[in-house]
Structure 1
């Protein structure tokens, strides 16, 4: 017989799944993967540029740690601003739709009926479905059909910002620790190798989340990462 798990016995992952709507979960994951990816590429580019300039171990570490926190704050702040704008737009669309329902109910009902006809229902069945749904919750159902917005499921900018900030820190630790602790003369090639492995993982994760071609996602990620490291290393070498 299947046992019933009490709320106190649920794991953290289970509680998070119940707390966040699917769209919110995907937005948090997207911000996390993007932050980790940027952390790897940005800090790898910085430390390899400094290494190319033949700077000291202390200079490498200071440049890396500065880039890590500057990038994390920039990513977190950017996500907060971006998602806040998206949230404000969702709320504005909800108010706009509420106004239209109050002032032109029949037109909204007809639009909903046409939506279900386009989805494949017969006109009579689409009309019945629209009547029933408009009776129960007209604002939510018309928002969902027109704008794919669900009431009370607006994106939270803090979730995306914190996810992006923390993942940027985690991603940037790899090139920072590699360039700091791998001894000469393996410092640069060792860091590049570590970054390539990390970029392979984040490229694969991005492709899985986007349900796209895995190999293409990995190759695209590696191209950006290797290109960034090559350019910054050459610039550092030419100026050092």
Structure 2
């Protein structure tokens, strides 16, 4: 009896495991804090590049929910039968030029200061997420191509494994600035460390961020998935600079 009771308790308190795009680091942390306080249920967050998670899930990575920064990864996994369905669009992201306090770069969304610093030799390193597997890296590349700077920056780019690492590089001295997620710039933990400017949203493909439950997801994961679509969670996404899809 005791053993059966113990197994039942263990099963009941299994935490919901979430694979989350790195741009969600602060916003999702705030949402989970509210959810756990309200429900008493545990959520474990793993942050990284969406492309890497999209490779790990078919290999058996034990995630209940995938929150991707690029909806195409969700569509591909759903086609493979690895998700319950094609999920829901939960946010649309933006990118920004971020420079640390004391940087020689002038900050503007049109990247004119960046171009000037590149031309006169003041710019030595610029951080972005790796475009090969990070959606925010691809958006950064598209914006730099739009500004006519991509080719000139070859050899000066510092590539983060994900956009959160790119922001860390931009603020830590590893680079003189970076193109990162606006949601990270909006976080109080980073806001005092540098200055940022939004890059026009038509300079890059839209960052349509979609989430879906995996086949292993249970009742608790479904409950958290539903919570993410409710006003309290949507208000947090909005506070961190995301555009919200219609409900």
The bucket for the TM-score relative to the shorter chain is: under 0.3
Structure with the bigger percentage of strand: 2
Bigger radius of gyration among the two: 1
Higher relative contact order (CA 8 A, sep 6+): 1
